[in-house]
């Protein structure tokens, strides 16, 4: 899947899907060692592979991790496992960008624009600005309630904090512009993910 493919998908309102970095890393290691998604599903159901607190949570984690990893080729596994922790966190975030149109739109319309301008303060209201723009563009999203929008905002803040791109305990939060090393730049170029690299670096379109 290319970065542009996600922009043709419907806008989801995912309020429960977390960053799940540890779980993603577990799954990548398992798949790199020769496991399959079907076997991962079986291990999750029978052995609580991800150490989830409930059966429903285990299923949610497994389905989300599987969706994210199916957005890339298996060659991703080696690159991910050999990368530094900072790069792994960016790669985990990249998988969310590849599979969540709403998150991609927020990151492209808000995060990239702010980094481009050198404005690193992120106010809570800016999340809602993007969400309202989405609702104007797509009638299917107009059923999202204010409570839903607040949950999406909270989820995105948590994802950005865990990935290292956002710090602070209250609004305005502080954006941390990531460093893209040569290997990660080459990966983005090779995989046709220039649009995602532009989000991280604040490059003009």
Q: Give the Å distances, CA to CA, from 2 to 22, 119, 171, 191, 193.
A: 24, 28, 33, 7, 6
pLDDT value of residue 11: 97
Identify the pLDDT of residue 204: 86
Q: Map out the domains of the chain with their CATH numbers.
A: 5-201 (1.10.3540.10)
**Residue 162 CA from chain centroid, whole number:** 11
pLDDT at 1: 44
Rounded CA-CA distance 114/102 in Å is: 18
* Distance in angstroms between the alpha carbons of the first and the last residue of the chain: 20
Which spans in 33-145 are helix H? Answer: 37-47, 55-69, 75-82, 85-99, 101-106, 112-117, 124-137
Encode pLDDT of 185-198 as tens digits. 999 999 999 999 99
Residues 6+ apart with CB under 8 A from 167: 161, 173, 174, 176
Splitting the chain (205 residues) into consecutive groups of 10 residues, what average pLDDT does each group show?
77 96 98 97 96 95 97 95 97 98 97 96 96 97 97 97 96 96 94 95 89
Residue 3: what pLDDT?
52
Give me the chain's average pLDDT, please.
95
12 contacts 155 by C-beta, under 8 angstroms: no
pLDDT at residue 128, as a whole number: 97
pLDDT value of position 184? 96
In order of 30, 53, 65, 169, the CA distances from 60 in angstroms are: 18, 11, 9, 27
């Amino acid at each position: 899947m290319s970065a542009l493919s996600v922009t043709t998908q419907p806008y989801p309102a995912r309020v429960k899907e977390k960053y799940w970095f540890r779980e993603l890393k577990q799954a990548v290691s398992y798949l790199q060692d020769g496991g399959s998604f079907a076997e991962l599903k079986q291990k999750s159901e029978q052995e609580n592979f991800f150490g989830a607190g409930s059966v429903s949570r285990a299923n949610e984690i497994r389905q989300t991790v599987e969706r994210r990893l199916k957005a890339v080729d298996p060659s991703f596994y080696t690159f991910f496992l050999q990368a530094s922790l900072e790069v792994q966190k960016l790669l985990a975030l990249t998988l969310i960008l590849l599979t969540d149109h709403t998150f991609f739109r927020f990151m492209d319309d808000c995060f990239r624009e702010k980094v481009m301008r050198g404005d690193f303060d992120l106010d809570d209201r800016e999340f809602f600005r993007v969400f309202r723009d989405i609702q104007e563009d797509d009638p299917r999203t107009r059923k999202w309630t204010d409570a839903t929008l607040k949950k999406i905002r909270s989820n995105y803040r948590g994802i950005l904090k865990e990935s290292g791109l956002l710090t602070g305990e209250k609004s305005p939060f502080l954006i941390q512009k990531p460093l893209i090393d040569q290997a990660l730049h080459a990966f983005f170029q090779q995989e046709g993910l220039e649009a995602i690299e532009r989000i991280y670096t604040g490059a003009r379109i």
